[in-house]
Amino acid sequence: MAHMAHYREAHPLPFVVTHWVNLVAMIFLIFTGFYIHYPLFGGVMTMARGLHIFCGIVLLINCVVRMVLAFFIKSAPAPGTRELVPDYKTWLPQRDNKHQLWAWISYYLFLRKEHPIAAKLGVPQKIVYLLIPLLIFFTGYTGFCLWGTTAGWPIFEVGLNFMGGAMKVRILHYFMMWCFLVFMCIHVYLSLIEGVSPATLIFFWKETPGLVYDPETMNIVGFDGMGKEPDCGETFKSEERAAVDRARVVEHEAISTGDAQHNGFEK
C-alpha cells in the first residue's frame, strides 16, 4: 500500500522549531542528568548542573509556547491534505479516529497489515502526546524542588515536604528521566513505522509524494506525485504548485514528442 503524502501544512514551521528545541533540550537533560546521578569523571559537575537547569527551563518555556501556539496556528488534520483546522483540534478526539484504538494497537503490534486511514495522530499517539506536557511540568516542578535557588520558595518547599524530602524527590526526578527515555523510544517507533517521510517533514520541512486524503469523506481521493511521479485524482494542490506541475507535464510531453519525431527521421 502506498503511503500518505506528507505536506508542510501538517507541521507549520513554528512547530518544526519547537520540535527541534524539545529534542535538543531533552538530549542535554538526559546526558547531564545521567552525569549528575553517576559522575563517571570529575571537573565538569558545575557545568553539568548549570546546563541541566538551563535546558530544563528552556523545555518548560518551549512546552508552554507550543501549547499556546496550538490555539493560534492552523495545521492539517490528517496526512495527505492541505486543508487546515486549529491545531489544538488535531490533539483531541476526531471523527477520523472513531473506534480506531484497537485498529492502531493491532497495526503497531504487527497484527494488522494495513495502516488505518485516519487523522494526523493515531489514537495511541494522541494519548501519549497529551500526557507529555503533564510529565514535563511535573518533572520541572521536582527539579525546582531540588535546585538550591528555588527549593526554599513556598510553592516548592511544600512539594518537597509532601513528597518526603530531598532524597525521595531526587529519586522521583531521576525516575521521570527514564519515563522520557521510554517516551522517546515509543515516539520514534510510532513516527517511523511508515518510513522516514514523517521525520523528514518534522525535522527538515520536506514534503514527500503519496496518497491524497479528503477529511470530509474520510477517503483516499488521489495521488500527489509532486512532479516526481504521475498524479491521479484530486490533489488539493495550491495554484502555484499546480502551475509548476503543469509546466513539468508540458515539458515532458515536448521532450517525448521531440524524441518521437527524431526517431521518425532516423527511420
Per residue in 11-21, pLDDT (tens digit) is 999 999 999 99
Percent composition of the chain: helix, strand, coil (DSSP 3-state, to 5): 65, 5, 30
Q: Would you say residue 132 has pLDDT above 50?
A: yes
pLDDT computed for residue 265 by the predictor:
47
Q: Which range (182-191, 216-225, 251-260) has the least confidence? A: 251-260
pLDDT computed for residue 157 by the predictor:
94
Q: How confident is the model at residue 237 (pLDDT cuts 50, 70, 90)?
A: very low
Delimiting residues of CATH 1.20.950.20 domain(s) in the chain: 8-214
Closest to 59 (Cα-Cα) out of 135, 167, 3 = 135
What is the average per-residue pLDDT within 122-151?
A: 90
Q: Which range (1-5, 24-28, 132-136, 207-211) has the least confidence? A: 1-5
Whats the size of the chain, residue-wise? 267
Q: Would you say residue 28 has pLDDT above 90?
A: yes
pLDDT computed for residue 241 by the predictor:
52
Mean residue pLDDT of the chain comes to 84
What is the average per-residue pLDDT within 177-187?
A: 88
Burial track 1-21 (b if 16+ CB lie within 10 A, e otherwise): eebbbbbebbbbeebbebeeb
pLDDT computed for residue 249 by the predictor:
52
Q: Would you say residue 216 has pLDDT above 80?
A: yes
Percent of all residues in the chain with a pLDDT value above 70, rounded to a whole number:
85
Burial track 163-195 (b if 16+ CB lie within 10 A, e otherwise): beeeeebbebbeebbeebeebeeeeeebbeebe
Phi, psi of 142 (to 5 degrees): -65, -35
pLDDT in tens, 50-76: 999 999 999 999 999 999 999 999 999
| pTM across the whole model | 0.80
DSSP state of 15: H
CA distance readout (Å), 130 to 11, 183, 219: 17, 12, 27
Correct CATH for 8-214 of 2.30.30.90, 3.20.10.10, 1.20.950.20, 3.20.80.10? 1.20.950.20
pLDDT computed for residue 261 by the predictor:
52
Q: Would you say residue 133 has pLDDT above 60?
A: yes
Residue 156 vs residue 123, higher pLDDT: 156
Alpha-carbon gap, residue 99 to 104, rounded angstroms: 10
Closest to 217 (Cα-Cα) out of 240, 236, 242, 191 = 236
pLDDT computed for residue 244 by the predictor:
54
